[in-house]
Amino acid sequence: MYSVMTSFSQNGGFMKIHNDFTLYYRVVPSGKRVVYYYAYDEDGKRLYGKSTGEVTLTAARLKCNRLLKEGTLVPKRGYIPTFAEYAVDWWDWEKCEYLKKRRKRSNLTKKYADNSKWIMNKVLLPYFGKMRMDKITQEVVEAFVDSYIQKGYKHNTINCNFSILKTMLIEAEERKVIAHNPIMKMGKLINNRKEIEIITRDEFKKLFVGDWMKVWDNDRIAYTANKLAALTGMRAAEVMGLKGCYVYDEHIYLCMQYDTKYGYRPTKTKDKCNIPLPASMIADLNELKKINGDGFLFSTDGGAKPVSKLTVYLKFHKALMNIGIPKEQIAERKLHLHAWRHFFNTELLKGGLSVKQTQAITRHRSEQMTDRYAHFEPSDFIKAKEVQEALLQPNTTHTTDKPKDSIAERRISVLHFPGIRETDLPERKQA
């Protein structure tokens, strides 16, 4: 950054010296690196960043000095910035004022900030960047949404983009950049995602009950990682972040996660909890613990660093093909590592646990989830273990209990669409 210091403001007996302007580089959506500048008003308040249109500091400094002499460097009072000017520093983990405010009250993650920044740079700025903030109306945003529908984007993706824009406009109103948020009452699109075709119990047994070495090409790490995810509903990053020091005789302690971009850090929900496991699963984990000690269990370098999630993902797909599921069907059913989370949710519900008990065990958060179900009850611990033990038993019959599965599938909707109440579901009929 480059600053030119020639002025000051006096406020309440304190003299604050400010730069006339501060130069800094910013990468615009096209990928070009352009020099922007900050200026300050007569009260010493920093104004929104503006582009100089120049690509070198020298040229930008000369332009700002010229604007300063002309008296046009500082916008007139009441100036309304463009969306691009307003967006400067937004979603930057260190600089964004909104994130600083939110982080005082919420456990935000850097991943959330980075994802939001990507959406702003790649989606919002190309569309709204040159618009003055007060020209972004509900009609303009509706047209933006419609343009993405016409391009064939899923409603869920469009809703994510809309949410980031709405957050920025709410903050703009609070800062008095605009008089009111034009989309405050504008809702999201209906959910049009395809229903999830989860892994079946028979497929689980083919993968994990029997000759696992043949199915998993003798890859103990991929086999154990996927089995752990299937029996716990753990997220992929939580599985990769498990260390040997957190494996106990009857349970594991979950407190951290790991991925290659953000490293070793607290779990998504910041929860810490014990997760019950069958003896055979503990034995599998202890086999890896013999190799990697108290370090990362799913590691090939002695526990110093886990293998990549992609490696486990690809081995999972290979195992699915080894049990007779073709590649095309894997893609159509969207069988990725997160599929184990849906699988375990379903098995818990089919096993007789309530929606709230299942949410507590799988650490699923929603606004409707009450605080008293945020941790395991002793009875939940036992019930979950019974479900795990049943899954690991060899098949004895091939009958299908259709009504029971139907209710379980509907209860999965409760987890993913919290507006549905469990009391809206029919009572399970006794056999």
Mark whether 69 and 21 lie in a shared domain. Answer: yes
Mark whether 146 and 51 lie in a shared domain. Answer: no
Q: Classify residue 403: in a domain, yes or no.
A: no
Mark whether 127 and 47 lie in a shared domain. Answer: no
Could you tell me if 225 and 240 are in contact, meaning their C-beta atoms sit under 8 angstroms apart? yes
Among 25, 46, 79, which residue terminates a domain?
A: 79
| Average pLDDT by stretches of 10, the chain with 431 residues | 46 50 83 85 74 91 87 76 93 94 90 96 96 96 97 94 97 93 94 79 94 96 97 95 96 94 90 90 97 97 96 96 95 90 88 80 55 44 84 69 43 39 39 36
Q: Rounded to an integer, what distance in angstroms lies between the CA atom of residue 73 and that of residue 81?
A: 14
Mark whether 272 and 253 lie in a shared domain. Answer: yes
Q: What CATH number is given to the structural domain containing 301?
A: 1.10.443.10
Mark whether 229 and 316 lie in a shared domain. Answer: yes
Mark whether 240 and 309 lie in a shared domain. Answer: yes
Q: Of 232, 212, 228, 239, nearest to 385 (Cα)?
A: 232
Total domains present in the chain = 3
Q: Classify residue 414: in a domain, yes or no.
A: no
DSSP bridge pairs for 9: 16
Q: Classify residue 184: in a domain, yes or no.
A: yes
Reduced to 3 states (helix: H, G, I; strand: E, B; else coil), residue 137 is: coil
Mark whether 277 and 289 lie in a shared domain. Answer: yes
Structural domain harbouring 66: 2-79
- Give the model's pLDDT for residue 381: 64
Q: Of 423, 425, 420, nearest to 368 (Cα)?
A: 420
- Give the model's pLDDT for residue 273: 87
Tell me the CA distances in angstroms from 181 to 49, 165, 166, 176, 422, one per residue in order: 21, 11, 8, 10, 35
Mark whether 255 and 373 lie in a shared domain. Answer: yes
Q: Classify residue 429: in a domain, yes or no.
A: no
Could you tell me if 332 and 279 are in contact, meaning their C-beta atoms sit under 8 angstroms apart? no
- Give the model's pLDDT for residue 43: 67
Among 48, 64, 79, which residue terminates a domain?
A: 79
**N-terminal to C-terminal alpha carbon distance within the chain:** 73
Could you tell me if 319 and 216 are in contact, meaning their C-beta atoms sit under 8 angstroms apart? yes
DSSP bridge pairs for 19: 5
- Give the model's pLDDT for residue 426: 37
Q: Of 208, 228, 343, nearest to 286 (Cα)?
A: 228
Mark whether 130 and 255 lie in a shared domain. Answer: no
- Give the model's pLDDT for residue 427: 43
Q: Classify residue 431: in a domain, yes or no.
A: no
- Give the model's pLDDT for residue 394: 87
Mark whether 124 and 180 lie in a shared domain. Answer: yes
Q: Classify residue 49: in a domain, yes or no.
A: yes
Q: What CATH number is given to the structural domain containing 149?
A: 1.10.150.130
Q: Classify residue 430: in a domain, yes or no.
A: no
Could you tell me if 418 and 368 are in contact, meaning their C-beta atoms sit under 8 angstroms apart? yes
Mark whether 27 and 141 lie in a shared domain. Answer: no
- 303 class by beta-carbon count within 10 Å (0-12 exposed, 13-18 middle, 19+ buried): buried
Q: Classify residue 407: in a domain, yes or no.
A: no
Mark whether 10 and 42 lie in a shared domain. Answer: yes
